[in-house]
Chains A and B, each alone.
Chain A
């Protein structure tokens, strides 16, 4: 079976671990627990009738992406750049971060995710989206599960198209 490595990255507290737990184990915890290193687990998904094994990396959040150890990106096929819709500091550095990530992982599929959509109402969301400096691919909630599978599924589709 084809397997692909996906990294969740982005600033502290944006919900990387929560998205990981929701996608891998359908679990959510309100209580914050600091990630200090890396955790990897895999899940098989069906994409357009084909089985694909996704190897998902949850890593410690860094305020700036150039602080993330380079070895973490070894062999990755996709990156999910997560920010917190409720905290502007988590997207203020986005353009620089994305530029850096594209430079060190050329050709890798990237998704930009605004998480914690359950905490913002529609009116507020438009305000926020105006302020976010890059195009957002999905808004998600690790809490309710909204769009979480879709993020990984869309990555799977693009990876299979490229394969």
Chain B
């Protein structure tokens, strides 16, 4: 398991880059938000990643980036809101997936508070 203790809302605004190979193993991680050991397969640890992993592999390298905003994870320690971005590319002859995770907790909590008021008003009508 990746080390969840190092992840917290104190990483707000920071981004972490994790590079995976097509088997789902970590080739590189900046460990900015949480620590992940090299070679560990983390696909099953993140259900969002698990759901799209096969599609990412089947997509063309250098295709568009796949982006997911305001992701709530079930991973202990990553308990805020995160933007996920996946890019599939070929590096030194190997196909890899670059996954960027940005902690945007403060920003999205504000958005959520605003939308909460709006939506409550809509639901009353």
Residue ranges of A at the interface with B (Cβ–Cβ < 8 Å): 3, 5, 12-13, 32-34, 36-42, 55, 57, 60, 69, 71-72, 74-76
Q: Which residues of A contact B47 (CB under 8 A)?
A: 40-42, 55
Contact present for B51 and A5 (CB under 8 Å): yes
Given known contacts A33-B116, A55-B47, A57-B51, A38 and B123 CB-to-CB distance under 8 angstroms: no
Contact present for B72 and A37 (CB under 8 Å): yes
Interface residues of B in 81-125 (CB under 8 A from A): 81, 108, 111-112, 115-116, 119-120, 122-123
Q: Is the interface of B mostly helix, strand, loop or mixed?
A: helix
Most chain B beta carbons < 10 A, residue from A33, A38, A41? A38
CA distance A149 to B76 in the complex (A): 26
Contact present for B115 and A42 (CB under 8 Å): no
Residue B17 lies at the interface, judged by CB distance under 8 Å to chain A: no
Contact present for B51 and A12 (CB under 8 Å): no
Given known contacts A12-B123, A32-B123, A42-B50, A37 and B116 CB-to-CB distance under 8 angstroms: no
Q: For chains A and B in complex, what number of residue pairs have CB atoms within 8 angstroms?
A: 73
B76 to chain A, nearest CB (A): 13
Contact present for A34 and B112 (CB under 8 Å): yes
Contact present for A34 and B119 (CB under 8 Å): yes
A14 to chain B, nearest CB (A): 10
Contact present for B123 and A13 (CB under 8 Å): yes
Contact present for A34 and B115 (CB under 8 Å): yes
Nearest B residue to A72, CB-CB:
B68
